[in-house]
């Protein structure tokens, strides 16, 4: 190609490029993605309206849209202005900002967490900023989302009212004290002859509505009342219920009277409705105190008694359900395991069953006690009240085991190599054991209950 031809071709190419650019059709080389990690966050707040005292959910989703791993990522939140809000750090999972080792998100990876949130005292409409912190991010602008939260000011007031009735005939219950308890104030009213009540000028917020002693032994379950200025709580229909204990019989049993550590124990619950009305929303729970020797039961094993909305027992109906749990290692330090269970209804009423115990042999320990005579009747041992030369006898219920030891001049006594467990205590000679001290519990380290102090009185 001649020099003139090449020049004409070059000029033509320039004209074509300019025309394409004018039309917005210019062909360009594809832009390369920014190198490095690039986190992008989105946040979902409830639409509201929310009120002070609400516990609500906030969902945070984070995606690494960059081309390199995002290292050292943690959740972050703050109040830009107005009422302060809070989140729980441990609910962020590996994005928990208190963890010494922060999270890593691979290119294209997404994390989604749902967090419980709450407000503090009102200081104006809250503006919240939530997202993730990563100092090496290629674009910090989309790491956070700022949201104006729809929170109702407590300057907005409303009336809370309604009627308290029985659940059987619908008759009004008069003379019931109704208390709305908030974080800063309490409002009260008393139901009239037809069971009605009204509390005016209640500031917006979430309140616990509690009901005092109700005539005739009726129970009125507590409830949360949200006041937001819309008037939705001005005509509440509140039904009283009969106590669960009046019509529910609950019995729990174990399949053995003795276990070894690691054994699988089978628990059986037998529930009977002796009343004339159906019992609804029944749930079984065990191990409320969380002690070391209890048999841990996964509540989901209790059929429909193990999850909301709970089970229903028709009048006269009996139900039997079973569950299993493994005897914990610590049970041998106490010489026993047990099953402390209860049945509760969704309205908050409950019935506790008698705990059932089983022996767990295998550990012996040294065990000490002190005898004293409560001369001043103040209910505990004072210096100088110790009693020496008292012969203490320990026997295991249901066995012929007997251990004897005598207190020294300081009132102290020590048993050596005695199996752990519960014993019946008695005193021989001129003294006798005081009421309430008939049971002694021998436990081993590291779960020792300390030196047992027992009262004696003259025969």
Grade residue 184 by pLDDT with cuts at 50, 70 and 90: confident
Which ranges constitute the DSSP H helices of 212-369? 331-334
Give me Rg for the CA atoms of the chain: 35
The chain-wide mean pLDDT, for the chain, equals 89
Q: Span 402-425, mean pLDDT?
A: 95
* Residue 22, pLDDT above cutoff 60: no
Check residue 443 and give its pLDDT: 96
Task: Lay out the sheet containing 55-64: strands in order across.
Answer: 39-44, 55-64, 110-119, 85-87
Grade residue 327 by pLDDT with cuts at 50, 70 and 90: very high
Check residue 289 and give its pLDDT: 65
Q: Span 342-354, mean pLDDT?
A: 88
Give the number of other Cβ atoms within 10 Å of residue 129's Cβ: 15
CA atoms within 13 A on the CB side of 38: 11
Collect all residues with Cβ–Cβ distance below 8 Å to 7 and sequence separation of at least 6: none
User: pLDDT digit string (tens) for 266-320?
Assistant: 999 999 999 988 999 999 998 766 689 999 998 899 999 999 999 999 999 999 9
Q: Determine the Cα–Cα distance for residues 361 and 235; give it in Å rounded to an integer.
A: 60
Q: How far is CA 388 from the centre of its chain?
A: 48
Check residue 34 and give its pLDDT: 54
Q: Span 164-192, mean pLDDT?
A: 90
Q: Span 224-247, mean pLDDT?
A: 92
Residue 122 and residue 83 in contact, taking contact as beta carbons nearer than 8 Å? yes
Which ranges constitute the DSSP H helices of 205-250? none
* Residue 178, pLDDT above cutoff 80: yes
Among residues of the chain, what percentage have pLDDT more than 90?
Answer: 77
Give the single-character DSSP code of 285: E
* Residue 449, pLDDT above cutoff 80: yes
> Which one has a higher pLDDT value, 48 or 163?
163
Q: Span 22-28, mean pLDDT?
A: 40
Phi/psi class of residue 270: alpha, beta or left (left: φ > 0; alpha: ψ in -120 to 50)?
Answer: beta
User: pLDDT digit string (tens) for 331-346?
Assistant: 999 999 999 999 999 8
Q: Span 424-449, mean pLDDT?
A: 95
Check residue 10 and give its pLDDT: 44
> Which one has a higher pLDDT value, 347 or 269?
269
Check residue 136 and give its pLDDT: 86
* Residue 18, pLDDT above cutoff 80: no
Check residue 242 and give its pLDDT: 87
* Residue 20, pLDDT above cutoff 60: no
The strand pair at 110-119 and 157-166 is best described as: unpaired
Check residue 48 and give its pLDDT: 85
Q: pTM of the full predicted structure?
A: 0.64
Phi/psi class of residue 181: alpha, beta or left (left: φ > 0; alpha: ψ in -120 to 50)?
Answer: beta
Q: Determine the Cα–Cα distance for residues 365 and 429; give it in Å rounded to an integer.
A: 27
Q: Span 395-402, mean pLDDT?
A: 84
Residue 296, phi then psi, degrees to nearest 5: -75, 125
Check residue 183 and give its pLDDT: 80
Annotate 395-410 with b (16+ C-beta within 10 A) or e (fewer): bbeeeeeebebebeee
Grade residue 221 by pLDDT with cuts at 50, 70 and 90: confident
* Residue 25, pLDDT above cutoff 90: no
Check residue 3 and give its pLDDT: 44
User: pLDDT digit string (tens) for 119-160?
Assistant: 989 999 999 999 999 988 988 889 999 999 999 999 999 999
Among residues of the chain, what percentage have pLDDT more than 70?
Answer: 92
């Amino acid at each position: 190609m001649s020099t003139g031809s090449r020049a004409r071709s070059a000029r033509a190419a320039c004209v074509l490029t300019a025309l394409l650019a004018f039309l917005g059709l210019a062909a360009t080389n594809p832009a390369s993605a920014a190198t490095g990690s690039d986190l992008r966050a989105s946040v979902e707040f409830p639409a509201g309206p929310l009120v002070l005292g609400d516990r609500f959910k906030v969902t945070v989703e984070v995606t690494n849209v960059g081309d390199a791993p995002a290292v050292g990522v943690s959740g972050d939140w703050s109040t830009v202005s107005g009422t302060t809000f809070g989140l729980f750090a441990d609910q962020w999972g590996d994005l928990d900002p208190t963890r010494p080792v922060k999270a890593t998100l691979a290119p294209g990876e997404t994390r989604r967490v749902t967090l419980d949130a709450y407000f503090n005292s009102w200081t104006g409409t809250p503006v919240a900023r939530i997202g993730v912190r990563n100092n090496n991010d290629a674009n910090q602008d989309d790491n956070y989302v700022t949201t104006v939260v729809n929170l109702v000011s407590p300057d907005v007031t409303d009336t809370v009212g309604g009627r308290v009735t029985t659940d059987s005939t619908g008759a009004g219950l008069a003379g019931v004290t109704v208390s709305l308890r908030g974080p800063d104030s309490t409002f009260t009213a008393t139901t009239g002859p037809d069971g009605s009540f009204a509390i005016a000028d209640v500031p917006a917020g979430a309140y616990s509505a509690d009901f005092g002693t109700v005539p005739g032994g009726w129970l009125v379950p507590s409830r949360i009342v949200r006041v937001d200025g819309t008037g939705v709580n001005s005509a509440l229909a509140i039904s009283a219920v009969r106590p669960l204990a009046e019509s529910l019989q609950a019995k729990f049993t174990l399949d053995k009277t003795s276990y070894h550590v690691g054994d699988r124990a089978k628990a059986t619950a037998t529930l009977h409705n002796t009343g004339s009305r159906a019992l609804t929303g029944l749930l079984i729970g065990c191990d409320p105190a969380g002690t070391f020797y209890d048999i841990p039961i996964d509540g989901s094993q209790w059929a429909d008694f193990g999850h909301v909305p709970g089970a229903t027992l028709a009048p006269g109906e009996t139900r039997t359900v079973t569950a299993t749990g493994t005897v914990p290692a610590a049970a041998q330090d106490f010489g026993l395991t047990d099953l402390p269970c209860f049945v509760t209804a969704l309205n908050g009423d409950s019935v506790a069953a008698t705990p059932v115990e089983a022996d767990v042999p295998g550990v012996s320990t040294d065990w000490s006690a002190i005898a004293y005579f409560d001369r001043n009747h103040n209910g505990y041992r004072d210096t100088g009240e110790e009693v020496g030369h008292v012969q203490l006898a320990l026997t295991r219920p249901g066995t012929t085991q007997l251990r004897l030891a005598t207190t020294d001049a300081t009132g102290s006594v020590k048993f050596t190599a005695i199996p752990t467990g519960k014993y019946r205590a008695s005193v021989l000679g001129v003294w006798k054991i005081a009421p309430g001290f008939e049971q002694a519990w021998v436990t081993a380290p590291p779960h020792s209950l300390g030196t047992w102090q027992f009262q004696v009185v003259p025969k």
